[in-house]
Structures are given as C-alpha cells and as structure tokens.
C-alpha cells in the first residue's frame, strides 16, 4: 500500500519520491487523498496569506502553489485538448496535435480562462478554504480515475497503461471516496459538487468517445481540470451555504 501511495504522490506532484513505487494504475486508489492534501495545503496558504494581503492576492498565491506543486500536469492536458478538438478535424489530425508539445491559441486561452476562474473562485469562496480546496481537488482527482476506469483508452502512452490497470474494486473505492470527500465542503455544497462532477464526466466521456474513440492522458487531465474549476465555482454560491 505504501508503494501505491508514493506512486500517487510521484504522478500527481513534483515531489521527489525515492525507492520503489507501484505502477500508476495501481496507485489510483490514492489519487483522491493526494488531491485532498494538495487542496488543504492550498487553502491553508490562502488563509495564511490573507492575514497580511488582500483576499485576491492570497487566492492567487494558493493557485500558484498548485501550479508549482503539480508541475502543471493537468493544465498541459487541457491546453493540448483545447488545441486539438475542433469541428471538422480528422481523428488522425487531432492525435497529431495531442502529441505536439507546443501550445496554440486555443490552448493558451483555455489556460488563461481556467486559471482566472480558479483564482477568482478562491477569492470569493463561501466556505473555509482549507475544506473547500480539499473537496474540490479531491473530487477532481477522483474524476480523473473514474473517467479512466469507465472509458475505452485511445492511442498509446501513459493514459492507456493507466486506464488498463484500474480494476473495478479500485474504481468502486474511488467513487466512494469522491462522494465522502465532497462533504468536506459542507452538506449544502456536496450534492452540487457530486452532480457537477458526474455531469462533466458523462458529457466528456461521450464527447471523447465520439471524437477520439476514447481517452488518453491529455483527456484525463482535461476532465480533472474542468471538474476542479467547476467545483471551485460552486463553492462561491452563497445560497448553498
């Protein structure tokens, strides 16, 4: 189990992990926990910084921490997918763009929009940021696993190996964790977070299967990023509290 936990940390963060670790797919069961930990630290940074700075600047610092700690892993996937999936493009052309390391206009815009939304959502969050960010990131990392475990893999690479290693018991445990983690944000927000994540997963799954025949690593990163952003927006809604 320890090797699986370390593998989850190694995959989802830039924290150096020494010694032997398990395969990434086997580590999926710990993805929600890593997400919760990252979110709690990010929320803690926001609270600490807000004691000396404006809420907006404090929120920006918390998002900067996430970008640095994760190595922009999911942002990279979002940018690639935003550049690749456009109407009229063949599947072969889209895969070629997904493999290209360069970022185009659509990818850059996707990053600017999602980072700005997350920054402003952190500044306007209606719950304790430690719990709010923990819930948002825990559910988003769970969504990544759920997407991989329920959708056919497309292309070759890390995404295929990751998806093929996710067993049904692991998938069931992650789904259960996602529902429990959502309640860190409070009873009033949890249903909205769960429903939003579910809707995004179902919609993205249908879209990716239709356009690409399945999902690869970039698609999984995109789902994670979109779910995280949506969760943070939900936590700005006053009437849920």
3-state helix, strand, coil split of the chain in percent (to 5) is: 75, 0, 25
Residue 56: Cβ-neighbour burial (10 angstroms; 0-12, 13-18, 19+) = middle
Which two tokens mark 234?
A: 């939900």
Q: Which of 11, 218, 37 is nearest to 110 (CA)?
A: 218
How far, in Å, CA of 168 to CA of 214, rounded?
A: 18
- Per-residue pLDDT at 218: 92
Q: Which of 133, 139, 155, 163 is nearest to 223 (CA)?
A: 139
Q: How many CB atoms lie within 10 A of CB 157?
A: 14
Lowest mean pLDDT among 8-22, 111-125, 178-192, 211-225: 8-22
pLDDT digits (tens, 9 = 90+) for 44-53: 999 999 999 9
pLDDT digits (tens, 9 = 90+) for 154-193: 877 676 778 777 888 889 999 999 999 999 999 999 999 9
36 pLDDT above the threshold of 60? yes
pLDDT bin (cut points 50, 70, 90) of residue 66 is very high
The answer to whether 83 touches 106, Cβ cutoff 8 Å, is yes
Q: Which of 218, 238, 217 is nearest to 80 (CA)?
A: 218
Place of tokens 């809420």: 55
Please report, for the chain, the start and end positions of each structural domain, with discontinuous segments joined by +. Answer: 31-240
| CB-facing half-sphere around the CA of 200: CA atoms within 13 A | 26
* pLDDT mean over 55-63: 97
């Amino acid at each position: 189990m320890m090797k699986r936990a370390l593998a989850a940390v190694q995959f989802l963060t830039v924290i150096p992990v020494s010694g032997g670790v398990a395969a990434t797919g086997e580590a999926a069961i710990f993805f929600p926990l890593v997400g919760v930990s990252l979110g709690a630290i990010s929320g803690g940074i926001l609270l600490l910084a807000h004691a000396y700075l404006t809420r907006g600047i404090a929120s920006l610092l918390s998002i900067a921490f996430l970008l640095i700690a994760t190595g922009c892993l999911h942002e990279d996937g979002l940018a690639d997918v935003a550049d690749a999936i456009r109407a009229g493009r063949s599947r072969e052309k889209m895969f070629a763009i997904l493999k290209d390391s360069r970022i185009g206009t659509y990818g850059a815009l996707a990053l600017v929009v999602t980072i700005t939304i997350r920054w402003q959502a952190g500044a306007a969050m209606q719950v304790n940021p430690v719990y709010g960010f923990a819930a948002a990131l825990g559910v988003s990392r769970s969504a990544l696993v759920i997407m991989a475990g329920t959708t056919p893999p497309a292309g070759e690479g890390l995404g295929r190996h990751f998806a093929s290693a996710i067993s049904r018991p692991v998938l069931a445990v992650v789904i259960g964790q996602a529902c429990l983690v959502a309640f860190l944000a409070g009873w009033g927000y949890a249903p909205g977070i769960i429903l939003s994540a579910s809707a995004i997963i179902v919609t993205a799954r249908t879209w990716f299967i239709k356009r690409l025949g399945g999902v690869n690593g970039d698609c999984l990163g995109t789902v994670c990023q979109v779910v995280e952003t949506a969760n943070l927006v939900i936590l700005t809604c006053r009437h849920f509290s």
